[in-house]
Amino acid sequence: MNKSAKLLIIDDDEDILYSARLLLKRYYPIVRIEKDPSKIPAILKDEHYGVILLDMNFTGGVTTGAEGFNWLKRILEIDPSAVVVLFTAYGNIEMAVKAIKEGATDFVLKPWQNEKLLATVSAAMKLSNSKTEIEELSSKQKQLSTDMDNQFQEMIGVSDGMQKVFEMIRKVAATDANVLIVGENGTGKELVARAIHRQSRRKDQIFLGVDMGALSNSLFESELFGYLRGAFTDAKEDRPGRFEVASGGTLFLDEIGNLSQNLQAKLLTVLQNREVTRLGSSIPKPVDIRLICATNLPVEELKSEKRFRQDLLYRINTVEIHLPPLRSRAEDIPLLSDHFIKMYCRKYGKPTMQIDSAVAKKLAGYNWPGNVRELQHSIERVVILKDSDKLTTDDFLFSVDGSEMPNSLFNSYKLDEAEKLLIIKAVSKCDGNLTQAAKELGITRASLYRRLEKYGL
Protein backbone atom coordinates (compact mmCIF):
# COMPACT_ATOMS: atom_id res chain seq x y z
CA MET A 1 0.00 0.00 0.00
CA ASN A 2 1.17 3.53 -0.69
CA LYS A 3 2.88 4.99 2.34
CA SER A 4 0.74 8.13 1.96
CA ALA A 5 -2.24 6.08 3.17
CA LYS A 6 -0.53 5.24 6.48
CA LEU A 7 -0.29 7.15 9.74
CA LEU A 8 1.90 6.39 12.78
CA ILE A 9 1.01 7.95 16.15
CA ILE A 10 3.49 7.76 19.06
CA ASP A 11 2.41 8.90 22.53
CA ASP A 12 2.76 7.50 26.06
CA ASP A 13 -0.90 8.36 26.87
CA GLU A 14 -3.23 5.54 25.78
CA ASP A 15 -6.29 7.81 25.89
CA ILE A 16 -4.58 10.16 23.43
CA LEU A 17 -3.60 7.27 21.17
CA TYR A 18 -7.07 5.74 20.98
CA SER A 19 -8.82 9.10 20.60
CA ALA A 20 -6.54 10.13 17.74
CA ARG A 21 -6.90 6.76 16.02
CA LEU A 22 -10.69 6.83 16.37
CA LEU A 23 -10.80 10.23 14.68
CA LEU A 24 -8.23 9.61 11.94
CA LYS A 25 -9.28 6.04 11.08
CA ARG A 26 -12.32 7.47 9.31
CA TYR A 27 -10.04 9.24 6.80
CA TYR A 28 -6.95 7.01 6.53
CA PRO A 29 -7.03 3.22 6.05
CA ILE A 30 -4.05 2.45 8.28
CA VAL A 31 -3.46 4.24 11.59
CA ARG A 32 -0.87 2.55 13.82
CA ILE A 33 -0.42 3.59 17.44
CA GLU A 34 2.58 3.03 19.71
CA LYS A 35 3.25 3.88 23.39
CA ASP A 36 6.96 3.09 23.52
CA PRO A 37 9.17 5.45 21.47
CA SER A 38 12.12 3.03 21.72
CA LYS A 39 10.31 0.86 19.17
CA ILE A 40 10.43 3.63 16.54
CA PRO A 41 13.60 2.36 14.75
CA ALA A 42 12.18 -1.15 14.40
CA ILE A 43 8.80 0.16 13.21
CA LEU A 44 10.33 2.42 10.56
CA LYS A 45 12.66 -0.33 9.41
CA ASP A 46 9.68 -2.48 8.44
CA GLU A 47 7.23 0.13 7.20
CA HIS A 48 7.02 3.59 5.66
CA TYR A 49 4.40 6.06 6.87
CA GLY A 50 2.97 9.08 5.11
CA VAL A 51 2.75 11.10 8.33
CA ILE A 52 4.14 10.48 11.82
CA LEU A 53 2.45 12.14 14.81
CA LEU A 54 5.02 12.35 17.62
CA ASP A 55 4.52 13.38 21.24
CA MET A 56 7.26 15.55 22.77
CA ASN A 57 7.30 14.27 26.37
CA PHE A 58 7.37 10.61 27.40
CA THR A 59 8.56 10.83 31.02
CA GLY A 60 6.10 11.83 33.75
CA GLY A 61 6.59 15.39 34.99
CA VAL A 62 8.91 16.35 32.10
CA THR A 63 7.68 19.23 29.93
CA THR A 64 10.82 20.43 28.14
CA GLY A 65 10.14 18.58 24.89
CA ALA A 66 13.75 17.36 24.76
CA GLU A 67 12.65 13.74 24.32
CA GLY A 68 10.48 14.66 21.35
CA PHE A 69 13.32 16.57 19.70
CA ASN A 70 15.66 13.63 20.22
CA TRP A 71 13.20 11.20 18.62
CA LEU A 72 12.53 13.65 15.80
CA LYS A 73 16.25 13.63 15.06
CA ARG A 74 16.34 9.80 15.12
CA ILE A 75 13.34 9.56 12.77
CA LEU A 76 14.90 11.93 10.26
CA GLU A 77 18.19 10.01 10.41
CA ILE A 78 16.32 6.82 9.54
CA ASP A 79 14.15 8.48 6.88
CA PRO A 80 15.24 11.99 5.82
CA SER A 81 12.02 12.43 3.84
CA ALA A 82 9.75 11.62 6.81
CA VAL A 83 6.89 14.04 7.47
CA VAL A 84 6.61 14.51 11.26
CA VAL A 85 3.98 16.48 13.17
CA LEU A 86 4.81 17.15 16.83
CA PHE A 87 2.15 17.55 19.49
CA THR A 88 2.27 18.37 23.18
CA ALA A 89 0.27 19.91 25.98
CA TYR A 90 3.14 22.23 26.92
CA GLY A 91 3.82 24.16 23.75
CA ASN A 92 4.71 27.77 23.15
CA ILE A 93 5.86 29.92 20.24
CA GLU A 94 9.54 29.35 20.98
CA MET A 95 9.10 25.58 21.00
CA ALA A 96 7.06 25.68 17.78
CA VAL A 97 9.79 27.64 16.00
CA LYS A 98 12.44 25.22 17.23
CA ALA A 99 10.34 22.25 16.07
CA ILE A 100 10.17 23.58 12.52
CA LYS A 101 13.90 24.37 12.53
CA GLU A 102 14.66 20.83 13.70
CA GLY A 103 12.77 19.37 10.74
CA ALA A 104 9.18 18.95 11.93
CA THR A 105 6.44 19.74 9.42
CA ASP A 106 3.97 21.18 11.91
CA PHE A 107 3.14 21.52 15.60
CA VAL A 108 -0.22 20.76 17.28
CA LEU A 109 -1.25 21.58 20.86
CA LYS A 110 -3.17 19.14 23.08
CA PRO A 111 -6.05 18.99 23.64
CA TRP A 112 -6.65 19.49 19.95
CA GLN A 113 -9.70 20.59 18.06
CA ASN A 114 -10.73 17.80 15.71
CA GLU A 115 -10.99 20.14 12.71
CA LYS A 116 -7.54 21.55 13.43
CA LEU A 117 -5.94 18.12 13.75
CA LEU A 118 -7.61 16.86 10.56
CA ALA A 119 -6.50 19.95 8.64
CA THR A 120 -2.94 19.62 9.91
CA VAL A 121 -2.70 15.92 9.03
CA SER A 122 -4.28 16.55 5.62
CA ALA A 123 -1.71 19.26 4.80
CA ALA A 124 1.12 17.02 6.04
CA MET A 125 -0.17 14.15 3.91
CA LYS A 126 -0.19 16.35 0.79
CA LEU A 127 3.41 17.27 1.54
CA SER A 128 4.25 13.59 1.94
CA ASN A 129 2.63 12.79 -1.42
CA SER A 130 4.66 15.54 -3.06
CA LYS A 131 7.88 14.22 -1.56
CA THR A 132 7.02 10.72 -2.76
CA GLU A 133 6.41 11.98 -6.30
CA ILE A 134 9.71 13.87 -6.26
CA GLU A 135 11.55 10.77 -5.01
CA GLU A 136 9.98 8.64 -7.75
CA LEU A 137 10.87 11.19 -10.42
CA SER A 138 14.40 11.43 -9.09
CA SER A 139 14.69 7.65 -9.07
CA LYS A 140 13.45 7.47 -12.66
CA GLN A 141 15.90 10.16 -13.68
CA LYS A 142 18.78 8.26 -12.07
CA GLN A 143 17.68 5.07 -13.79
CA LEU A 144 17.47 6.86 -17.12
CA SER A 145 20.94 8.27 -16.55
CA THR A 146 22.23 4.79 -15.74
CA ASP A 147 20.57 3.38 -18.85
CA MET A 148 22.20 6.10 -20.90
CA ASP A 149 25.75 5.68 -19.63
CA ASN A 150 26.76 5.01 -23.19
CA GLN A 151 27.56 8.55 -24.36
CA PHE A 152 25.89 8.09 -27.73
CA GLN A 153 23.35 5.39 -26.87
CA GLU A 154 22.04 4.06 -30.22
CA MET A 155 24.28 6.36 -32.27
CA ILE A 156 26.47 3.64 -33.65
CA GLY A 157 29.11 4.18 -36.28
CA VAL A 158 32.74 3.77 -37.22
CA SER A 159 32.49 5.81 -40.43
CA ASP A 160 34.42 9.06 -40.76
CA GLY A 161 31.16 10.97 -40.98
CA MET A 162 29.89 9.68 -37.64
CA GLN A 163 33.25 10.10 -35.94
CA LYS A 164 33.12 13.78 -36.89
CA VAL A 165 29.62 14.01 -35.41
CA PHE A 166 30.79 12.41 -32.14
CA GLU A 167 33.69 14.84 -31.94
CA MET A 168 31.38 17.82 -32.52
CA ILE A 169 29.07 16.59 -29.77
CA ARG A 170 31.95 16.33 -27.29
CA LYS A 171 33.15 19.82 -28.09
CA VAL A 172 29.79 21.61 -28.04
CA ALA A 173 28.26 19.75 -25.07
CA ALA A 174 30.54 21.44 -22.55
CA THR A 175 29.21 24.85 -23.61
CA ASP A 176 25.75 26.41 -23.57
CA ALA A 177 25.99 27.37 -27.26
CA ASN A 178 22.87 27.04 -29.39
CA VAL A 179 23.12 24.11 -31.78
CA LEU A 180 21.43 23.45 -35.12
CA ILE A 181 21.38 19.79 -36.22
CA VAL A 182 20.89 19.30 -39.95
CA GLY A 183 20.09 15.97 -41.54
CA GLU A 184 17.55 13.96 -43.50
CA ASN A 185 14.56 12.38 -41.76
CA GLY A 186 15.54 9.24 -39.88
CA THR A 187 19.22 10.07 -39.43
CA GLY A 188 18.92 10.47 -35.66
CA LYS A 189 18.78 14.21 -35.02
CA GLU A 190 17.01 13.78 -31.68
CA LEU A 191 19.61 11.22 -30.57
CA VAL A 192 22.30 13.83 -31.22
CA ALA A 193 20.35 16.40 -29.19
CA ARG A 194 19.99 13.97 -26.28
CA ALA A 195 23.68 13.07 -26.44
CA ILE A 196 24.59 16.77 -26.18
CA HIS A 197 22.25 17.13 -23.20
CA ARG A 198 23.62 14.05 -21.42
CA GLN A 199 27.17 15.39 -21.65
CA SER A 200 26.29 18.95 -20.65
CA ARG A 201 26.20 20.64 -17.25
CA ARG A 202 22.40 20.45 -17.51
CA LYS A 203 22.36 16.64 -17.67
CA ASP A 204 20.49 16.30 -14.37
CA GLN A 205 17.75 18.66 -15.56
CA ILE A 206 14.92 18.10 -18.02
CA PHE A 207 15.32 17.44 -21.73
CA LEU A 208 12.14 18.47 -23.53
CA GLY A 209 11.51 17.95 -27.23
CA VAL A 210 8.90 19.75 -29.35
CA ASP A 211 7.95 18.82 -32.92
CA MET A 212 7.49 22.25 -34.46
CA GLY A 213 6.11 20.78 -37.67
CA ALA A 214 3.18 19.29 -35.77
CA LEU A 215 2.22 22.59 -34.11
CA SER A 216 -0.44 24.63 -35.88
CA ASN A 217 -0.21 28.42 -35.86
CA SER A 218 -3.07 28.61 -33.36
CA LEU A 219 -1.37 26.26 -30.89
CA PHE A 220 2.15 27.64 -31.18
CA GLU A 221 1.97 30.31 -28.45
CA SER A 222 -0.15 28.35 -25.99
CA GLU A 223 2.09 25.27 -26.25
CA LEU A 224 5.43 27.05 -26.14
CA PHE A 225 4.66 30.07 -23.96
CA GLY A 226 1.77 28.80 -21.82
CA TYR A 227 -1.45 30.53 -20.81
CA LEU A 228 -3.58 31.71 -17.92
CA ARG A 229 -7.03 30.43 -17.10
CA GLY A 230 -9.60 32.18 -19.26
CA ALA A 231 -7.06 33.33 -21.87
CA PHE A 232 -9.18 31.56 -24.50
CA THR A 233 -12.28 29.36 -24.62
CA ASP A 234 -10.73 26.04 -23.54
CA ALA A 235 -8.21 27.52 -21.07
CA LYS A 236 -9.74 26.09 -17.89
CA GLU A 237 -6.57 26.33 -15.79
CA ASP A 238 -3.17 28.02 -15.74
CA ARG A 239 -0.61 26.07 -17.75
CA PRO A 240 3.11 26.67 -18.25
CA GLY A 241 4.52 26.45 -21.76
CA ARG A 242 7.40 24.30 -22.94
CA PHE A 243 9.92 27.09 -22.38
CA GLU A 244 8.97 27.35 -18.68
CA VAL A 245 8.87 23.58 -18.18
CA ALA A 246 12.32 23.18 -19.77
CA SER A 247 13.88 26.07 -17.83
CA GLY A 248 17.15 24.92 -16.30
CA GLY A 249 17.46 22.15 -18.86
CA THR A 250 17.52 21.66 -22.62
CA LEU A 251 14.76 22.54 -25.09
CA PHE A 252 14.88 20.69 -28.41
CA LEU A 253 12.88 22.23 -31.25
CA ASP A 254 12.61 19.67 -34.05
CA GLU A 255 11.76 20.61 -37.67
CA ILE A 256 12.39 24.29 -36.95
CA GLY A 257 12.43 24.97 -40.70
CA ASN A 258 8.65 24.51 -40.91
CA LEU A 259 7.87 27.65 -38.89
CA SER A 260 6.01 30.47 -40.60
CA GLN A 261 7.59 33.94 -40.70
CA ASN A 262 5.09 35.20 -38.11
CA LEU A 263 5.95 32.47 -35.64
CA GLN A 264 9.66 32.90 -36.29
CA ALA A 265 9.37 36.52 -35.13
CA LYS A 266 7.69 35.46 -31.87
CA LEU A 267 10.32 32.80 -31.23
CA LEU A 268 13.12 35.28 -31.90
CA THR A 269 11.69 37.72 -29.33
CA VAL A 270 11.70 35.02 -26.65
CA LEU A 271 15.26 33.97 -27.45
CA GLN A 272 16.51 37.56 -27.42
CA ASN A 273 14.82 38.50 -24.13
CA ARG A 274 15.21 35.10 -22.44
CA GLU A 275 11.70 35.44 -21.06
CA VAL A 276 8.18 34.35 -22.00
CA THR A 277 4.78 35.89 -21.38
CA ARG A 278 1.87 33.51 -21.03
CA LEU A 279 -1.26 34.14 -23.08
CA GLY A 280 -3.62 36.26 -20.99
CA SER A 281 -0.80 37.71 -18.89
CA SER A 282 1.29 40.86 -19.12
CA ILE A 283 3.98 39.64 -16.75
CA PRO A 284 7.07 38.12 -18.42
CA LYS A 285 8.74 35.10 -16.82
CA PRO A 286 12.50 34.58 -17.16
CA VAL A 287 13.61 31.26 -18.67
CA ASP A 288 17.01 29.59 -18.70
CA ILE A 289 17.23 26.99 -21.46
CA ARG A 290 19.91 25.44 -23.59
CA LEU A 291 18.45 25.54 -27.12
CA ILE A 292 18.99 22.79 -29.68
CA CYS A 293 17.15 22.92 -33.00
CA ALA A 294 16.94 20.50 -35.91
CA THR A 295 15.82 20.61 -39.52
CA ASN A 296 15.77 18.27 -42.51
CA LEU A 297 16.23 21.27 -44.83
CA PRO A 298 19.72 22.35 -45.88
CA VAL A 299 20.75 25.64 -44.26
CA GLU A 300 21.65 26.99 -47.71
CA GLU A 301 18.06 26.40 -48.80
CA LEU A 302 16.72 28.26 -45.78
CA LYS A 303 18.97 31.19 -46.64
CA SER A 304 18.51 31.28 -50.38
CA GLU A 305 14.73 31.05 -50.43
CA LYS A 306 14.38 33.65 -47.68
CA ARG A 307 11.89 31.34 -46.00
CA PHE A 308 13.69 31.71 -42.68
CA ARG A 309 14.60 34.92 -40.85
CA GLN A 310 18.35 35.42 -41.03
CA ASP A 311 18.52 36.98 -37.55
CA LEU A 312 16.79 33.91 -36.09
CA LEU A 313 18.97 31.55 -38.11
CA TYR A 314 22.14 33.21 -36.80
CA ARG A 315 20.82 32.93 -33.26
CA ILE A 316 19.97 29.23 -33.38
CA ASN A 317 23.01 27.94 -35.29
CA THR A 318 25.99 29.10 -33.27
CA VAL A 319 27.23 25.59 -34.05
CA GLU A 320 25.94 23.37 -36.87
CA ILE A 321 26.14 19.60 -36.76
CA HIS A 322 25.51 17.80 -40.06
CA LEU A 323 24.29 14.21 -39.80
CA PRO A 324 25.25 12.08 -42.83
CA PRO A 325 22.56 9.91 -44.49
CA LEU A 326 22.88 6.18 -44.01
CA ARG A 327 23.64 5.59 -47.71
CA SER A 328 26.90 7.56 -47.32
CA ARG A 329 28.14 5.40 -44.44
CA ALA A 330 27.58 1.83 -45.61
CA GLU A 331 30.31 0.56 -43.27
CA ASP A 332 27.99 1.35 -40.33
CA ILE A 333 25.08 -0.77 -41.62
CA PRO A 334 26.40 -4.14 -40.28
CA LEU A 335 26.96 -2.62 -36.83
CA LEU A 336 23.51 -1.02 -36.76
CA SER A 337 21.86 -4.18 -38.06
CA ASP A 338 23.51 -6.32 -35.40
CA HIS A 339 22.49 -3.83 -32.71
CA PHE A 340 18.83 -3.74 -33.78
CA ILE A 341 18.62 -7.51 -34.20
CA LYS A 342 19.87 -8.09 -30.65
CA MET A 343 17.62 -5.36 -29.28
CA TYR A 344 14.43 -6.73 -30.86
CA CYS A 345 15.26 -10.35 -30.19
CA ARG A 346 15.46 -9.43 -26.49
CA LYS A 347 12.29 -7.35 -26.69
CA TYR A 348 10.20 -10.07 -28.36
CA GLY A 349 11.77 -13.06 -26.63
CA LYS A 350 13.29 -14.51 -29.80
CA PRO A 351 16.58 -16.42 -30.06
CA THR A 352 19.42 -14.32 -31.44
CA MET A 353 19.15 -14.22 -35.22
CA GLN A 354 22.04 -14.33 -37.66
CA ILE A 355 22.62 -12.46 -40.92
CA ASP A 356 24.52 -14.24 -43.68
CA SER A 357 26.75 -12.57 -46.27
CA ALA A 358 23.96 -12.36 -48.88
CA VAL A 359 21.69 -10.45 -46.47
CA ALA A 360 24.55 -8.17 -45.41
CA LYS A 361 25.26 -7.41 -49.07
CA LYS A 362 21.61 -6.59 -49.74
CA LEU A 363 21.39 -4.30 -46.71
CA ALA A 364 24.60 -2.52 -47.67
CA GLY A 365 23.47 -2.10 -51.28
CA TYR A 366 20.05 -0.59 -50.53
CA ASN A 367 19.67 3.21 -50.70
CA TRP A 368 17.81 3.53 -47.34
CA PRO A 369 15.70 6.65 -48.12
CA GLY A 370 14.34 6.46 -44.58
CA ASN A 371 17.88 6.22 -43.18
CA VAL A 372 18.57 4.57 -39.79
CA ARG A 373 14.91 4.76 -38.81
CA GLU A 374 13.92 2.70 -41.87
CA LEU A 375 16.66 0.14 -41.14
CA GLN A 376 15.51 -0.12 -37.53
CA HIS A 377 11.86 -0.72 -38.39
CA SER A 378 12.71 -3.12 -41.21
CA ILE A 379 14.65 -5.27 -38.78
CA GLU A 380 11.94 -5.02 -36.10
CA ARG A 381 9.34 -6.29 -38.59
CA VAL A 382 11.59 -9.17 -39.68
CA VAL A 383 12.31 -10.22 -36.08
CA ILE A 384 8.58 -10.21 -35.26
CA LEU A 385 7.60 -12.29 -38.30
CA LYS A 386 10.58 -14.67 -38.47
CA ASP A 387 10.23 -18.12 -36.90
CA SER A 388 13.79 -19.35 -37.48
CA ASP A 389 17.07 -17.88 -36.32
CA LYS A 390 18.42 -17.37 -39.84
CA LEU A 391 17.57 -14.21 -41.77
CA THR A 392 17.45 -14.39 -45.56
CA THR A 393 17.28 -11.83 -48.35
CA ASP A 394 13.59 -12.66 -48.88
CA ASP A 395 12.81 -11.34 -45.40
CA PHE A 396 13.53 -7.76 -46.45
CA LEU A 397 10.87 -6.15 -48.64
CA PHE A 398 12.94 -4.07 -51.02
CA SER A 399 15.10 -4.54 -54.06
CA VAL A 400 18.68 -3.27 -53.94
CA ASP A 401 17.92 -0.51 -56.43
CA GLY A 402 14.71 0.34 -54.63
CA SER A 403 12.86 0.41 -57.96
CA GLU A 404 10.03 -1.97 -57.17
CA MET A 405 8.27 -3.79 -54.38
CA PRO A 406 8.13 -7.60 -54.58
CA ASN A 407 4.81 -9.36 -55.18
CA SER A 408 5.12 -11.00 -51.77
CA LEU A 409 4.51 -7.58 -50.27
CA PHE A 410 0.94 -7.62 -51.50
CA ASN A 411 0.46 -11.29 -50.73
CA SER A 412 1.65 -11.09 -47.12
CA TYR A 413 1.79 -7.55 -45.78
CA LYS A 414 -0.95 -5.75 -47.69
CA LEU A 415 -1.93 -2.11 -47.46
CA ASP A 416 0.05 -0.88 -44.45
CA GLU A 417 3.41 -2.04 -45.78
CA ALA A 418 2.64 -0.71 -49.26
CA GLU A 419 1.61 2.67 -47.86
CA LYS A 420 4.70 2.85 -45.67
CA LEU A 421 7.03 2.17 -48.60
CA LEU A 422 5.21 4.68 -50.81
CA ILE A 423 5.64 7.33 -48.12
CA ILE A 424 9.35 6.52 -47.78
CA LYS A 425 9.80 6.81 -51.56
CA ALA A 426 7.88 10.10 -51.73
CA VAL A 427 9.90 11.65 -48.89
CA SER A 428 13.14 10.47 -50.48
CA LYS A 429 12.13 11.81 -53.90
CA CYS A 430 11.39 15.22 -52.36
CA ASP A 431 14.69 15.23 -50.43
CA GLY A 432 12.92 15.28 -47.09
CA ASN A 433 10.59 18.19 -47.91
CA LEU A 434 7.39 16.96 -46.22
CA THR A 435 5.17 19.60 -47.82
CA GLN A 436 6.22 18.48 -51.31
CA ALA A 437 5.98 14.81 -50.32
CA ALA A 438 2.40 15.34 -49.12
CA LYS A 439 1.53 16.91 -52.50
CA GLU A 440 3.15 13.98 -54.33
CA LEU A 441 1.03 11.56 -52.30
CA GLY A 442 -2.13 13.64 -52.74
CA ILE A 443 -2.70 14.10 -49.00
CA THR A 444 -2.46 17.02 -46.58
CA ARG A 445 0.69 17.68 -44.59
CA ALA A 446 -1.22 16.89 -41.38
CA SER A 447 -2.24 13.52 -42.84
CA LEU A 448 1.37 12.83 -43.77
CA TYR A 449 2.50 13.63 -40.20
CA ARG A 450 -0.05 11.17 -38.82
CA ARG A 451 1.20 8.46 -41.15
CA LEU A 452 4.85 9.19 -40.33
CA GLU A 453 3.99 8.78 -36.65
CA LYS A 454 1.94 5.64 -37.34
CA TYR A 455 4.84 3.93 -39.12
CA GLY A 456 7.55 5.35 -36.85
CA LEU A 457 9.22 7.22 -39.71
> Please, which pLDDT band fits residue 404 given cuts at 50, 70 and 90?
very low
pLDDT score, position 150: 44
Residue 83 has pLDDT above 80, yes or no: yes
Residues 170, 314 within the same domain: yes
| Same-domain status, 69 and 194 | no
Q: What is the pLDDT of residue 147?
A: 44
> Do 179 and 309 belong to one domain?
yes
Q: Can you list the alpha helix ranges (DSSP code H) found in 148-237?
A: 160-173, 189-198, 217-225
Q: What domain count does the chain have?
A: 3
Averaged pLDDT of the chain: 84
The torsion angle over the Cα atoms of residues 446, 448, 450 and 453, rounded to 10 degrees, is -130
Reported as a pLDDT band with limits 50, 70 and 90, residue 5 is confident
Res. 192 pLDDT band, cuts 50 70 90:
very high
pTM over cut 0.85: no
**CATH number for 166:** 3.40.50.300
Helices (H) and strands (E) in the chain, counts: 19, 16
Q: How confident is the model at residue 262 (pLDDT cuts 50, 70, 90)?
A: confident
Least confidently predicted of 51-65, 317-331, 367-381: 51-65
Q: Are strands 290-295 and 390-391 parallel, antiparallel or unpaired?
A: unpaired
CB 358 within 8 A of CB 367: no
Q: Measured between alpha carbons, how far is 312 from 357 in angstroms, rounded to an integer? A: 49
139 and 156 fall within a common domain: no
133 and 152 in a single domain? The answer is no
The per-residue pLDDT for 146 is 47
CATH number at residue 114: 3.40.50.2300
Q: Based on the domain organization, do 213 and 188 belong to the same domain?
A: yes
Same domain, 133 and 10: yes
Per-residue pLDDT reduced to its tens digit, 38-68? 999 999 887 889 899 998 888 877 777 888 8
In the chain, % of residues over pLDDT 90? 36
Which of 143, 160, 178 marks a domain boundary?
A: 143
Q: Is residue 318 domain-shared with residue 362, that is, in the same domain?
A: no
Same domain for 182 and 234, yes or no, is yes
Q: Are residues 395 and 444 in the same domain?
A: yes
Whether residue 185 is found in the same domain as residue 107:
no
* CATH code for the domain in which residue 433 is found: 1.10.8.60
Looking at the fold, whether 450 and 349 belong to one and the same domain comes out as: yes
pLDDT reported for residue 163: 95
pLDDT tens-digit series, residues 129-164: 877 777 666 555 554 554 444 445 568 889 999 999
Three-state DSSP class for residue 206? coil
List 74's β-bridge partners, or say none. Answer: none
State which of 143, 165, 197 marks the end of a domain.
Answer: 143
Q: Which domain holds residue 418?
A: 327-454
- 439 class by beta-carbon count within 10 Å (0-12 exposed, 13-18 middle, 19+ buried): middle
